[in-house]
């Protein structure tokens, strides 16, 4: 069994240390000792049993609180006081500098908490360590100086989660929908160098990767681009290649007819498209941005964005090549093709591709094949998105969605000075999200002690705390000058403002959004009603009421401020574990509610609940519709590579029933024995570890594991809470 020290370092649990600490507190008196050695041994044994029962690595603070409780249960109140005073004295000494020990353990790569914080960051790498070190300093400054005390205390207690606190000291924001079209068609500037409109598809792809890297280094969330913005450059390359072919034929003195020329041109063009797409794929997975990871990039594939039939056909070729290359994968250091985490792909299901016999059905078949092997693309239903939002556009990163354009109709105009702005036309590219604060719904429920009136009172109180936290994020961005991130604010990714111009006008009128996140709807409903939110009589109505209440709060805040607050189904990568630990600390083990090392993401059905894939998607669609700021549903499936008709049936069901969904399969490889299958999760001394079922290799540096955990794929392993959640997932198909 392990414990987590204050520095984040993981060490083996040692009950003798507990025994010795109690014995010292017991002996530090001039009077009679309150505890006998037998009683002290009993206390240390009970604490060990309790720690084992909880089933995860406890922190030092949690162990010490158990010690205090057990000493008082024995009636040794003076000993408990001495123990508490000693803890308080030590905490004062540590408060003199709260970051040194954290940073030192980061450098030595033995901070387990940080090592498992981000499933796409390798904490052994210098760039990642540098980012984490800066983050520790920023968090310390934020907690001590920049944020109000009540928000910091609520965050520390797990009542809310103030996202990306390590970036709050800087004037940075969350997610972007990059206006790649404007930058490619009208030029941009990268690192002080003018980049003009490219004259070929391959050059456009190369410039796109540079833009992606620059954007990723100037914000802290996800970003998305559309392949439709690259499609016009296919015809530019086609015309250039045609001229070259005709010139070559003249030099060779050959008489070639038009059909032959066209065939040669299209063959060469396809090769250029292959190279261009390969540039994006390989550049994205090999680039390392200033935060020490590959850019968190989503690539949107929507035929409906094409302008004209030829451009649509060209876009289809780009989509086809993107899917083919992703299906193939990328080589790991052993030369074996594996599943990369990025770019995330989103494929839009539409009337032109969703049914057998439709013009682009072949693309949907290829998408199904790719999903079965590589877990992407994910799917957006054009039909449902048009119904729910009135427009079809991609999320920013994994799930954060902009609100439907309202500033165009309000007559606000081209406030970003985009060069591709069309008056009266809805605008999505170039917009962004300001930040996120998440409410812990489980804590609201437990704090109410099942008193429904108290539940709604506490709920409103916590929502207002989130509102205050989000306004802090908003105020931190106000006054930011465009010079802070020229690629974003001056050179087209988000806007083309003047140098020295504040970005303030982009924070209002719905141009950008700000997100109220939520977590643990299942556990909240379970505690308050005694049943899952899938229960149609009691659970579902209450769950929908909770969702509507949060939407009503966002609507009220928006009316008061002209800021687009929106409800967001939080991904909860590492926070699922942190929230679970905080709940256990505050309320103990409550069966079916706090007895896991994780809580459920957003509105999702609990991972252990038996339900078929179609029923799951149909049920969650009702809740996804009430999460307009972003959410994604998934179904857990086995290896589907030999059952593509089932994958296609699921995709068609998505088209008719839910806006945004994905299929989770497994894609692993053991570098020791060459096993190509599912790497398993096993328990060892109270800790969950990954193990090859063939050779029993447990060295994480010698295996490639890819799992979708939060709407995107992770490849660097996860904390114990998320690992338990992955282990306990049931199949839906």
* Residue tagged active-site, from 165, 172, 395, 396: 396
DSSP assignment of 241-264, as one string? HHHHHHHHHHHHT----HHHHHHH
User: How far is CA 566 from each of CA 216, 311, 346, 407, 570, rounded to the nearest angstrom?
Assistant: 23, 34, 22, 16, 12
* Half-sphere exposure of residue 369: CA atoms within 13 angstroms, side-chain side: 15
Q: What's the rounded Cα separation, in Å, for the pair 684 and 57?
A: 12
378-381 and 344-349 strand pairing: parallel
Under a CB-based contact definition with an 8 Å cutoff, are residues 318 and 235 in contact?
A: no
**Pairwise CA distance, residues 637 & 650, whole Å:** 11
**CA 512 – CA 490 distance, rounded (Å):** 17
User: Which distant-in-sequence residues (6+ apart) come within 8 Å of 339 by Cβ?
Assistant: 329, 373, 374, 375, 667, 704, 706, 713, 715
Catalytic entry in 492, 569, 711, 721: 711
Catalytic (active site) residue 398: yes
Residue 255, token pair as written in the block: 């008489």
- Give me the catalytic one of 118, 202, 291, 400: 400
**Please, which residues have CB within 8 angstroms of residue 309's CB and are 6 or more apart in sequence?**
none
Out of 44, 381, 433, 512, the active site residue is: 433
Angstrom distance (rounded) from CA 489 to CA 508: 15
Considering 573, 636, 691, 725, which one is annotated as catalytic? 573
**CA dist., res. 300 & res. 227, Å (int):** 6
**Residue from 44, 174, 512, 601 carrying the catalytic annotation:** 174
Annotated active-site residue in 385, 395, 398, 659? 398
396 is catalytic: yes
- How far, CA to CA in Å, does 38 sit from each of 15, 74, 624? 14, 12, 56
Please give the Cα distance from 86 to 186 (Å, whole number): 66
Q: Is the peptide bond before 377 cis (omega within 30 degrees of 0)?
A: yes
> Which DSSP string do the residues of 5-66 spell out, in sequence order?
-TTSBEEE--HHHHHHHHHHHHHS-SS--S--HHHHHHHHHHHHHHHHHHTSPEEHHHHHHH
Active site residue 72: no
Q: Which of 165, 172, 175, 651 is catalytic?
A: 175
Is 573 among the residues known to form the active site?
yes
Pairing of strands 633-636, 660-664: parallel
Helix (H, G, I), strand (E, B) or coil at 490: coil
Residue 514's SS3 state is: strand
Q: Which residues of 57-94 are buried (b: 16+ CB within 10 A; e: fewer)?
A: bbbeebbbebbeebbeebebebbbebbbeebeeeeeee
Return the C-alpha torsion angle 496, 502, 503, 506, nearest 10.
-100
Instruction: For the beta carbon of residue 7, count every other beta carbon within 10 angstroms.
Output: 21
What residues pair up with 37 in beta bridges, in sequence order? none
514 φ/ψ sector (left φ>0, alpha ψ -120 to 50, else beta) = beta
C-alpha to C-alpha distance for 99 and 169, rounded to whole angstroms? 15
Distances (CA, A) of 219 to 226, 295, 474, 511, 556: 19, 10, 15, 17, 28
On whether the CB atoms of residues 643 and 613 are closer than 8 A, the answer is no
Hey, which residues are catalytic here? Answer: 174-175, 396, 398, 400, 433, 568, 573, 711
């Amino acid at each position: 069994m392990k414990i987590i020290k204050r520095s984040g370092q993981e060490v083996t649990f040692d009950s003798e240390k507990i025994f010795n600490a109690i014995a010292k507190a017991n002996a530090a008196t001039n009077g009679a000792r309150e505890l006998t050695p037998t009683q002290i041994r009993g206390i240390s044994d009970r604490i060990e049993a309790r720690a084992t029962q909880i089933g995860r690595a406890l922190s030092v603070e949690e162990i010490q609180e158990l010690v205090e409780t057990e000493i008082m249960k024995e009636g040794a109140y003076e000993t408990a006081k001495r123990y508490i005073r000693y803890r308080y004295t030590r905490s004062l000494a540590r408060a003199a500098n709260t970051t040194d020990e954290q940073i030192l353990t980061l450098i030595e790569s033995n901070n387990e908490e940080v090592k498992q914080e981000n499933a796409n960051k390798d904490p052994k790498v210098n760039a990642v360590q540098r980012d984490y070190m800066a983050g520790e300093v920023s968090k310390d400054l934020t907690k001590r100086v920049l944020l109000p005390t009540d928000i910091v205390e609520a965050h520390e207690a797990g009542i809310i989660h103030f996202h990306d606190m390590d970036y709050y000291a800087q004037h940075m924001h969350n997610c972007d929908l990059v206006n790649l079209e404007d930058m490619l068609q009208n030029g941009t500037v990268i690192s002080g160098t003018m980049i003009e409109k490219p004259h070929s598809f391959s050059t456009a792809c190369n410039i796109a990767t540079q833009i992606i890297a620059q954007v990723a280094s100037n914000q802290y969330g996800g970003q998305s681009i559309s392949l439709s913005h690259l499609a016009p450059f296919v015809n530019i390359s086609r015309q250039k290649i045609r001229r070259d072919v005709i010139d070559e034929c003249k030099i060779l003195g050959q008489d070639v007819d038009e059909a032959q020329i066209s065939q040669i041109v299209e063959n060469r063009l396809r090769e250029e498209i292959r190279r261009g797409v390969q540039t994006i794929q390989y550049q994205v997975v090999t680039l390392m941005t200033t935060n020490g990871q590959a850019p968190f990039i989503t690539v949107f594939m929507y035929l409906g964005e094409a302008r004209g039939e030829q451009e649509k056909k060209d876009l289809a070729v780009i989509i086809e090549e993107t899917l083919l290359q992703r299906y193939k994968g990328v080589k790991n250091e052993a030369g074996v093709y594996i599943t990369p985490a990025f770019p995330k792909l989103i494929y839009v299901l539409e009337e032109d591709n969703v049914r057998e016999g439709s013009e682009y059905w072949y693309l949907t078949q290829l998408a199904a094949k790719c999903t079965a092997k590589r877990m992407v693309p994910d799917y957006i239903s054009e039909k449902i998105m048009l119904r729910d939002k009135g427009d079809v556009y991609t999320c920013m990163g994994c799930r954060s969605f902009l609100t439907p354009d309202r500033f165009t109709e309000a007559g606000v105009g081209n406030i970003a000075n985009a060069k591709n702005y069309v008056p009266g036309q809805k605008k999505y590219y170039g917009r962004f999200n300001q930040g996120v604060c998440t409410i812990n719904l489980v804590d609201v429920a437990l704090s109410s002690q099942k008193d429904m009136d108290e539940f709604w009172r506490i709920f409103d109180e916590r929502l207002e705390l989130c509102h205050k936290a989000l306004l802090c994020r908003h105020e931190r961005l106000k006054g930011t000058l465009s010079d802070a991130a020229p690629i974003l604010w001056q050179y087209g990714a988000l806007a083309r403002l003047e140098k020295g111009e504040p970005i303030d006008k982009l924070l209002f009128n719905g141009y950008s959004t700000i997100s109220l996140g939520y977590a643990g709807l299942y556990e909240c409903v379970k505690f308050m009603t005694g049943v899952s939110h899938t229960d149609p009589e009691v659970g579902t109505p209450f769950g929908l009421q909770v969702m509507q209440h949060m939407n009503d709060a966002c609507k009220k805040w928006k009316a008061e401020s002209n800021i687009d607050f929106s409800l967001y189904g939080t991904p909860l990568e590492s926070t699922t574990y942190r929230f679970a630990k905080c709940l256990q600390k505050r309320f103990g083990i409550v069966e079916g509610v706090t007895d896991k090392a994780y809580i459920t993401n957003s509105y999702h059905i609990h991972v252990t609940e038996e339900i078929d894939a179609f029923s799951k998607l149909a049920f969650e669609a009702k809740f996804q519709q009430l999460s307009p700021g972003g959410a994604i549903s998934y179904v857990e499936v086995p290896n589907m590579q030999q059952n593509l008709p089932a994958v296609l049936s699921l995709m068609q069901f998505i088209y008719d029933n839910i806006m945004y969904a994905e299929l989770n399969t497994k894609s692993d490889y053991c570098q020791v024995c060459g096993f190509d299958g599912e790497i398993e999760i096993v328990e060892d001394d109270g800790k969950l570890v990954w193990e090859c079922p063939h050779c029993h290799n447990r060295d994480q540096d010698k295996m490639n594991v890819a799992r979708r955990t939060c709407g995107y794929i992770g490849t660097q392993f996860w904390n114990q809470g998320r690992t338990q959640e992955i282990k306990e997932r049931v199949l839906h198909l």
